[in-house]
Amino acid sequence: MSKNLVDFSFLEELSDGDPKYKYDVLSIFMDTVPPGLNNLKNLVGEGKDLQEASKQAHALKSSVSIVKITDMYERLLEIETLGREEKGLDRIREVFELILETFNEAEPIINAEIEKNRPSE
């Protein structure tokens, strides 16, 4: 994928360039998004509670609106919408796989940014 897989410009603007702030936000992001994706994976895999999958996708959207990962927000929105309408389980699963693939590519970039902004003890 392209070098622009992760866009930190909004985080940069929010933090006003403060490395500690960026470190804190990115750490929280990595503490919440992987478990949220895992929960969504279980909900989508079971395919029993699409309303709950919709809620989980909605919750993840707020995180990826700050740390922008290519197409992730739009894909979460699609899962949220389909889940709320309780339709398109195959499409939801397909879109989720794309989200997971993209996140797995973005994860080392985000972790590198965390390390770059880690406060010195």
Say which CATH number the domain at 29 has: 1.20.120
Asked if residue 74 has pLDDT above 50, the reply is yes
Range of the domain at 18: 3-116
Q: Are 6 and 109 in contact (CB under 8 A)?
A: yes
Q: What is the pLDDT of residue 2?
A: 47
Whole-angstrom distance, CA of residue 39 vs CA of residue 41: 5
Q: What is the pLDDT of residue 48?
A: 87
Q: Are 103 and 37 in contact (CB under 8 A)?
A: yes
Domain count, the chain: 1
Give this prediction's pTM.
0.92
What is the three-class DSSP state of 71?
coil
Domain-embedded: residue 47 = yes
Asked if residue 66 has pLDDT above 60, the reply is yes
Domain-embedded: residue 121 = no
pLDDT digits (tens, 9 = 90+) for 2-58: 458 999 999 999 999 999 999 999 999 999 999 999 999 999 999 989 999 999 999
pLDDT digits (tens, 9 = 90+) for 87-120: 999 999 999 999 999 999 999 999 999 999 999 8
Q: What is the pLDDT of residue 121?
A: 73
- As a dihedral over the C-alpha atoms of residue 102, residue 107, residue 108, residue 111, rounded to 10 degrees, the angle is 160
